Structures are given as structure tokens and as C-alpha cells.
Structure 1
Amino acid sequence: MEKRWVQSSGCNDETIKKLAEKLNIDRSLAQILVQRNVCDFDQAKYFFRPELEHLHNPFLMKDMDVTVERIEEALSAQEKILIYGDYDVDGTTSVALAYSFFSRLTENIEYYIPDRYLEGYGISTTGIDYAKENGFSLIIALDCGIKSIDKIDYANSLGIDFIICDHHLPGDEIPKAIAVLDPKRLDCEYPFKELAGCGIGFKLAQAYAQKHNLPKETYLQYLDLVMVSIAADIVPVVGENRILAYYGLKKLNTNPCEGLRALMEVSGKTENYTITDVVFTLGPRINAAGRIDHAKHAVAMLLCQVDSNSLEQSELINLKNTERKTYDQDITREALALIGESEVLINRKTTVVFNENWHKGVIGIVASRLTEKYYRPTIVLTKSNGHVAGSCRSVIGFDLYEALSGCADLLDQYGGHKFAAGLTMQEYNVNAFADKFEEIVSSTITEELLTPMIKIDAEIELAQIDGKFYRVLAQMGPFGPENMAPMFVTHNVYLAQHAMAVGANHLKINIKQQNSPIFEGIAFGLAEFQNLLQPKVPFSVCYTIEENVWRDKKRLQLNIKGIKVN
């Protein structure tokens, strides 16, 4: 599929020049820093040298003082506390963090994860009833609850207090809980708004430790869990999140908690983790517990102690992930066949596919795969608990949620944001919904938005890439949303030897320019260019730069994202 190459807009040349001179770095790297609002020496020092001392005072968060006081009261009175969280990576890491921290202070504590299929997302009536039946008087909810107005009212009616620790956008009304920690509250002046749910749990632990003069290690020991949540929940890796991710990666690569260490072992990768590695290696495995079975298994693994059954728990999680992969591959293949066999579906600007037998736990993954394949707003539907449930994915720049709002009359429920959402409807509305969704999207989306985009940070020559260039580049990490690995473009490159197809659909090439060394490049999914690239014929490449480690030998490699023959 052809992709748009979009060059980042220019910056002030004088600012770039001064920064390059001050830091003694390549101008292209200075340009990238300025594009990311790092414009002078002090900002660069803050950016390149993240410090834990730069973390904000947790008591700047609205209701933090009330939260700590209510927990102190519960601990003093030996009340039973229930730690409640969502079933995804952010929710399970949040629960593991909060439970581990407070279980050192009381034995009257349990954790609860709702069943994905029986209870659904967020605070459930079943969970509140469980708390009532078992004598819990305080529930601390993490990564959920900010829109659970009626559920909190129900808990209040039963005499159960709630503390909500959430990071999602509130609605018009804040639940009537004892305290609501959420930086996105309009009345919250906390300086950083993009913490993950586990990040809110971390700030709570930090606040409690700070007030009680506990050693910093009592909460810093959870930095690896916080980093995993930042990576998996795809929150911006800037500001406080970048500090937490930086030190969380350090901990993961040197001294991970026992559960993560065991999971790394069964995954086959035990060192040199990046945010990307966490997203594609650890995240899916933790998520698989809730998708295929029950997310409580993920929490149990994350809570494992040294010399416990951590390897057994991680192998169970790994097995669930293998099962998830099978469902994922089978359903993706069936969905692609449905589209390919239908002239109507193949020519639409949307994809809506339905099979009542598909596994609900993986339809979101399948929706993402179909979006990658056809690059258009996509919805995958299946039957669940007597109704049709759907997972939705969009393309960059198109507001999926707004399009769903236009179909609200055909839906029972829907929720999410611009790029991802979920919905439920009655089966008899499926065809009408598919047609209406297509009509709304077709009338509002542009052809440009239906073409995938590669955003290029800077144009460079291959000769600029050397050890120092890469060392400075690497220090711009950890990379993630709003601080992605810089994308470069280089024109008029040549093959140093013939291109070689590898794997299913990949391309391995060695390229050079007149005054440059030869660079190895790997182009995933671009084997179609093998016969188009010929010696002495110039072409352009856009790519990120990586360090490839093989048998203790390190070399720079270009991860090629796009090719254009001149």
C-alpha cells in the first residue's frame, strides 16, 4: 500500500544553530529537539537527563489529601480494603502496585478484577455486591470509575466508600466517591495530565510514603510496573511519564520484580528491553489473561515473590497468550476472507464484519490488523451475552467516536475516543448499522486520510550517521507517543549489493551514498520492492536507526519504513 511521506514543518534556523553549537551535536539532531520543544541548554539538560527529583508533588493532585486520610482511617480501624481494577495491562499493573504497597501495612486487604465477559468494563454491580457480602467498607478503584456515577451511588447506599484513581476523561458529573484522583478533572491543578492508571496508583503510594516518612524505595520499587502500563496503554511518553518510563526501563533491565522477570524468561527475551519490546512482548502476554480466561491470573503473576511459583504463573500467562494468538490468527483469516469474497465490502471506505462465533477477547486485535491491511475505519462484531459487541479502530486524523455518534439510534451503548471504541447493539441492527456507518464515514473522510502516513523528522545524508550520532539519538528515548523514534529520509541512495527477500514478506538491503559507508537495512513488509531496486538506480528511503545486537556484536541498522524509486 502506497504511503504519504510528510516532512515535519520547519523550525527557526537560528535556534537550531545555537542549540547544535551549545550541545556540540549534529544540526539534524538539534532540529529534531527543537521540533519537540527542546530549544535551549536547560531544556535539553532536563530532556537528556531525566531525574526522579523532577517528579511532581503528589499532593498537588485534587483529593490526594482526602484519599490518604481515608486510607489512614481504614488502616487504623482495621477496615477491610478491596483493591479494584480493570482487566487490561494498565488495570492489572495498577492493582498489583496498590495491593503490594498497602498489603505491607494491613492484612485486611484483597484485590478484585471484574470478569471481562460477565461483568464488562469498569465498576460492576457484581463487584460491589462481592464487597458488601465479604465485609469490605473501602474500595480503591484503579484505571476505572470516573464515569461510574450510578455504581458509586449504589455503593454509597450499601455503606461502602469508594476512592477512584482514574486517568480517563471525566463526564459532566464527577462520581460521589469519598475522593476522586484524576488529573483530567477540570478542577485538578496537577501539572501533568497524561499519567496512566498505574501512574495514579504510583502517585498515591508516593503520597502515602511521603506523609509517613517511609523510604523512597517503598514506592520506587514499582517503577517497572508503571513503565509497563505506560507502554501498553499508549500514553504520551513525555513529561512525568518519560521520567517514569526511563527509570522503569532501567529497573526492568537490571532488577525486575519477580513476576516480570519470570515473564521475560518464558517470552524468550530477558534483557535490553525498550518501550517497543514491552509493547510487543510483555504487554500482549499480560493482556491475554483477561482476554482468554481471567485477569486475576495476571495480577497473581505480578505479585509473585522470589522463590515462589512465579515461573509457573508466567508459563500459565504465556500459554494463554499462545491461545490468544491462535484465536487472533484464525479470526483474522476468516475476516479477510469475508471482505475478499464481497464486492460490496472490498469497495467500501469502511470495514464492518460480523460473525457470531468469533471470540470477543480478540476482536480488538483483529480490528487493528484489518485497519493495517485496508487502512480505513474498521469494526469487528461478534455475539456476546445475547447482544452483538463490537471493537472499533480508526485511521490517523479521523474521529471514529463522532462517526459512531451519528449511528447512536442503532446502538445500545458505545464509548471510546477518536481512534478506538467499543459498542453493543441488537443483532437485527447489524446490517443497517454497517450501511449507516459507511454513509457517515464516506461523507466526511478524505482520500488523503485513507492513505497511511509516514511522518519524517529530518532529511540527512548517510555519512552523518556514526557512533556519536546514534548515542545522542538513543538518549532521546524512551520513545513512544509524542516522542517517537525519529524518522529520517535520505535521497539518492544506491544498492551496495542485490536486495534479498527474507521471511514472509520482508526485504534485506545494503545501501550507500558516494561518501558514506555501507549500511544494512531491513524493510519489514516491503518485499514488493525487490525487483524494483537495481544497482546504479537511485532511490529514496525513510527509516529509523537501530542498534542490532547479535552474539555480543553491535552494529547500526536502518529499519526502513518506506521506499521510493526516483
Structure 2
Amino acid sequence: MTANRTADTALGIERSILGQPWRWRATSADMGSDTLAPDDLVTQLLLARGVTRDELDRHRSPTLRGFMPDPSIFRDMDAAAARIADAVEAKEAITIFGDYDVDGATSAALLVRLLRALDVPVGAYIPDRLMEGYGPSGAALVKIGEAGSRLVVTVDCGAQAFDAIAEAKAAGVEVIIVDHHQCATTLPQALAVVNPNRLDEAPDAAGHGNLAAVGVAFLLGAALLRTLRARGFFSRRAEPALIDLLDLVALGTVADVAQLTGFNRALVTQGLKIMARRGNIGLSALMDAARLTKPPSASDMGFALGPRINAGGRVGKSDLGVRLLTTSDPQEAADIAAELNRLNEERRAIEAAVLDEALAASAACANAPVALVSGAGWHPGVIGIVAGRLKEKLHRPAIVIAVDEEGVGKGSGRSISGVDLGAAILAAKESGLLVAGGGHAMAAGLTVDAAKLDALGAFLNERLARDVERASGEKSLLIDAVLAPRGISPDWCAAIESAGPYGAGWPAPRVATGPVRIIESGVVGTDHLRLIVAGEDGGRFKAIAFRSAESELGQTLLHTRGNRKLWLAGRAKRDDWGSRPAAELHLEDAAWAD
């Protein structure tokens, strides 16, 4: 059932076990309860996520036709498409230079597959994380040119590669930059810089600043095909179906935690349909390795497929992801998928060790707005994941820096909503505190001299203190609906699926349920709290709080005994592990009901 939204406070809870108020995601005024049918759950969810009434139909079934912008609104897009079209017609060799994460791998794979379909000699270059670091280097670009490719397209990197692009230009190598990271006031001397986060973008293009790099690459692909079509290129041959590459776009978008609103939501919605067909041999092999037997969801991309592709760049060979996503050989695909699966297990072990040390080190900055920790010998391939874990536990921006034997620190940061970490890192670079750095609002990377770590911490704390305080002060748990305990069911999970896909910026519905009593409690896996609870209506279900057994919430619930009653809040998820479908609550908070 959906609760009455006449008050902002949900269930009267002003302070939960985690010390936060529970608020309705939308009030009765937002929901238009006087005209809204009470059983139209999807409409309620869409309105609660900011969709206006006249936009409901478009958002109910997001399509490319309904959301895709004209690629030409982006600066340099037409120039980039024209130059690549020239190369296509001349069958000129092109190299796609990608980042080593999922967004970089999918962006590179998309352009490689598209250009192969156009019979262009194309290759991919992915730098080694440990030996070469992030982004293009002048040496790498010159080497690519000497090998015969005088046109390089960088994807998911390049926005800050001033020296490298200048060196390539001097050597006669043309570079097109396709990126989404924040730009400085000046741009590299590339042939074209296609990036919705350019500071000189017009408002209609800048409005797509939440695109992952793979989304920008998809638009470049559309612009390229349009250019070739206008030149009559397809009068003598079939035009590649760009839509068939949407599985790559969906994977990169979700894995890069891009906001699943507007055009991104359409890309992922349609991409999931393409992925379900298993037309990409490499992706199909990876789904088999991850034991995904049903059509994948956005959650599967974020937690099963993405981490495995990332594992190659983090602790293995950086080009494994691109090779997997572009191969046409089933045996090669199976072999690479198995290797990525093995590397992902190795990554988990390394991550756990670094996380333990990072948590211990964070005690020294317990009261700082930004948790900046560093350690000698930490594996740079896992620092981004550890930064994310640290942010989740500390509820503030976190930066984790691995310092090598030469005193050079490679860092990765993750932020909280309302705190633009990428802009702060760019400002630190411009202030001379960093060797290199950049990113976007929620994530950033950097290179720093270990001697400047204290100064960097002071700079970031001073710059972000007010934003962190404001974001923390506004923290509350937003509730979409209240369900009776019996309502935590597979039917509820099925009913809300059509309002998805869910992810960053388009959160899955959060429900409150209760009052319930804890029947069983315990710790499972790595720091996961597991509960069996029962309600007064006879409803009984499982709840699990991931990585929370040692937290205040976990310890409180583990030691709750007797008939004390609780309200629980979290996301209801379908559980297909048993002999028949069930539902469980992924617990985020709790409050006393007595």
C-alpha cells in the first residue's frame, strides 16, 4: 500500500537508528493525489522522480526517438565526424585510444566495431595502468603514428592531455578527443574536442553533461553515419545498425555510475533489450562466466559484468575488456571471460586488504570534511573501489592515494551528492598541488608528489568544507511508499520494474515496512547483516544489510531481542535462489516503532 503523503515526515520518524529523518520523496502536492488513481504505482514513481505530468508518456517508455539530441549541437562534433568519414572513404588506419575502465573499454569497443563494419583498418590501444597511467601520453601517440595510424580517437580520456596532444601534433598525428570529464578554460590542441562538459558548450549541449563517454561515442557514431549517408557512401553498401551497439552503451553508462535520467535512461532501457539478445559474443561469454542465465538488469551490469571487465585494467592486462567486447571468436571470448572472472576474484582479495588499511588510516582525519588517506605499496588498481567503500562508510568524500617507491602518489576519489570533487581536483591542479588530475562531480583521479599530501588535504578541506556540511545537513532517507510486511513480495518487485531501469539519479523505490520483530539475526559473508523478521499481519521475510554488520545499524539490530518492534526501510528485491520466487529487503535504515 502507498502511505498518505499529507506530511513531509514519513511515519513520524525524525531520527532513525542512523540518526536521520525519514521524508517522503514526494508530497501530496507533487503527486497530485486529487486526480491520480491510487493504484497507478508507476505514475507515482515517475512523478516522485521529477517527471512533469505532460512528460509522463515519454518517460514511461523511454526511446531514442524521444530523447536523443541532434549530435550537431555539440561543439566539434561535425568536424570530428567529417574527419573520420574522410578516413572511412580512404580506408585510412584509425586507432581508438581508450581508458582502462568499463566506460573506456565500451567506448573503444563501440567505435572499433562500428569502423570494422565500415571496412576500416582500426585498432585499439589501452594504456597499462601501472606502467603508463591514465590517459594518452605523447610517447604512446607518437608510437601509434609511427606504426601507421595517423588518426587517433581518444575515448574517456584526453580532456587534460595538453602536452601529449601537442607532442602528437608536432609528430603529424591528428587526434580527436571524445570525453566527458571536466575541461579547463583552455583545451588541448586536438583536431576536435567532443565533450559536453566543455566550458564553452551551449546550454542545450551542456545539458547532456551527465553522459558517460560511451554515450558521447554513440552520438559520434550517429554523426559519422549521417555524414557518410549524406555523401552517398551507403548507396553501394548496407549501413551498419548502430542500435545493435546499444548493449555496450548501456554497460558503460551504468558501470560509470552516470545519471540514469533523460537520454541516459533511454540508452540503458534500449541497451538492455539488445543485451538480452546476446548478439555480442564477448558479452554473452561474460554473462555465462558471471552465471547470469536470465536477461540482465541494470543491477547485473553494475555489480556482475562491470567489475569483471574492470578487473583487467585493475589487476590484469588492460586491453582484456576491449578484446572481449570486440572479438568474433567464441573460444577467445570464453577464454578472456574466464580470465576476467579469475582476475575479479584476485581484485576482491587485494581490495579487502587495502580497505582495512585505509579504514585504519581514516581515523587520523575523522573530523575532516574530506577523508584523504594514503599508503605505501597500496595497489593503484583498487584505490577507486576502496574510495567508494570509504565514502559509503564515512558519508563524506573520500580520496585514496597509493604512494610508490619514488614518492609519487596515484589517487582516486569518490564524492557525495552536492559536492563537486572533480572541480576541486582541477582547482588543486591549477594551484600547483598536483602533477595531474581531473574528473567529474562524483569521481576524480590525480597524481601527486607525496611531499604535498598535507597541503592537498588542507586545500580540499578548505574548499569543500561548506559543501560537505550543507550536503550532510540535508541528509535524510527518502521514502516512496509504506508496505505492510506481507507486501514485501515478488508481485511488488514485478510491479515497479516498468518504472526502471534504476540507478544513479533514478533510484529504485525505497519502501518502509513494519512494525516487525526480529526472529533471527546473524552475520553472513563479508560483514553482511542478515535478518528474518515477522510482522503483525503474519508477513515474514528476509532482510539483508550489505557491509553493515560492524556499523551502528548492524550492531543495534544484532543485539535487539524480545518483542521490540521496528520500522525497516530499504529496497525490495526479487530473490530467485529458492525453489519458488520470494522477495527480500535490502536494508538501509531502521527506526523503533515502540
* TM-score in same-fold range (> 0.5): yes
Between stretches 51-60 and 304-313, larger displacement belongs to 51-60
Alignment partner for residue 413 of structure 2, among 372, 392, 410?
392
Equivalent position of 2:516 in the other structure:
494
Alignment partner for residue 155 of structure 2, among 115, 136, 142?
142
> Are the equivalent residues in 2 in contact too, given 1:140–1:162 (CA < 8 A)?
yes
Instruction: Give the distance between the partners of 1:2 and 1:311, measured in 2 at CA.
Output: 45
> Are the equivalent residues in 1 in contact too, given 2:418–2:471 (CA < 8 A)?
no
Equivalent position of 1:197 in the other structure:
213
1:7 aligns to 2:23 (yes or no) = yes
Q: Percent identity?
A: 29
Cα deviation for residue 78 of structure 1 reads: 3.0
Equivalent position of 1:100 in the other structure:
113
Equivalent position of 1:537 in the other structure:
564
1:111-163 alpha-carbon deviations (Å, 9 max, x no partner): 11122233322222122111221122211221222333443333222222222
Equivalent position of 2:40 in the other structure:
25
Cα deviation for residue 433 of structure 1 reads: 4.8
1:320 aligns to 2:343 (yes or no) = yes
CA change 1:32–1:371 in 2 (3 A) is same
CA change 1:172–1:311 in 2 (3 A) is same
CA change 1:164–1:430 in 2 (3 A) is closer
> Are the equivalent residues in 2 in contact too, given 1:2–1:451 (CA < 8 A)?
no
Alignment partner for residue 399 of structure 2, among 352, 367, 379?
379
1:496-532 alpha-carbon deviations (Å, 9 max, x no partner): x713325144122233244x74444334435434455
Alignment partner for residue 474 of structure 1, among 492, 497, 505?
497
Cα deviation for residue 277 of structure 1 reads: 1.9
Amino acid at match of 1:50: P
1:322-359 alpha-carbon deviations (Å, 9 max, x no partner): 2222211122223334556xxx4556665443322111
> Are the equivalent residues in 2 in contact too, given 1:538–1:565 (CA < 8 A)?
yes
Matched position secondary structure for 1:221: helix
Equivalent position of 1:50 in the other structure:
62
Equivalent position of 1:370 in the other structure:
390
Alignment partner for residue 97 of structure 2, among 66, 84, 95?
84
Q: TM-score, normalised by structure 2?
A: 0.83
Equivalent position of 2:311 in the other structure:
288
Equivalent position of 2:122 in the other structure:
109
Between stretches 476-485 and 270-279, larger displacement belongs to 270-279
Alignment partner for residue 225 of structure 1, among 248, 257, 262?
248
Matched position secondary structure for 1:4: coil
Matched position secondary structure for 1:17: coil
Cα deviation for residue 552 of structure 1 reads: 6.2
Question: Which sections of structure 1, spanning at least 5 residues, go unmatched?
Answer: none
Q: TM-score, normalised by structure 1?
A: 0.87
1:356-378 alpha-carbon deviations (Å, 9 max, x no partner): 21111112222222333333443
> Are the equivalent residues in 1 in contact too, given 2:179–2:216 (CA < 8 A)?
yes
Between stretches 411-420 and 151-160, larger displacement belongs to 411-420
1:383-407 alpha-carbon deviations (Å, 9 max, x no partner): 2365222223344444545766579
Matched position secondary structure for 1:312: helix
Matched position secondary structure for 1:372: helix
1:411-461 alpha-carbon deviations (Å, 9 max, x no partner): 444433444333333333345555666677678753982897533234455
Between stretches 187-196 and 251-260, larger displacement belongs to 187-196
Instruction: Give the distance between the partners of 1:537 and 1:56, measured in 2 at CA.
Output: 52
CA change 1:415–1:106 in 2 (3 A) is same
1:32-63 alpha-carbon deviations (Å, 9 max, x no partner): 322223333x5222222223432525443333
> Are the equivalent residues in 2 in contact too, given 1:11–1:31 (CA < 8 A)?
no
1:129 aligns to 2:149 (yes or no) = no
Instruction: Give the distance between the partners of 1:131 and 1:348, measured in 2 at CA.
Output: 45
Equivalent position of 1:554 in the other structure:
581
RMSD: 3.3
Cα deviation for residue 252 of structure 1 reads: 2.2
Matched position secondary structure for 1:509: strand
1:60 aligns to 2:72 (yes or no) = yes
Amino acid at match of 2:36: A
Amino acid at match of 1:251: I
> Are the equivalent residues in 2 in contact too, given 1:375–1:450 (CA < 8 A)?
no
Equivalent pairs counted in the alignment come to 556
Cα deviation for residue 286 of structure 1 reads: 0.9
CA change 1:373–1:148 in 2 (3 A) is same
Amino acid at match of 1:130: K
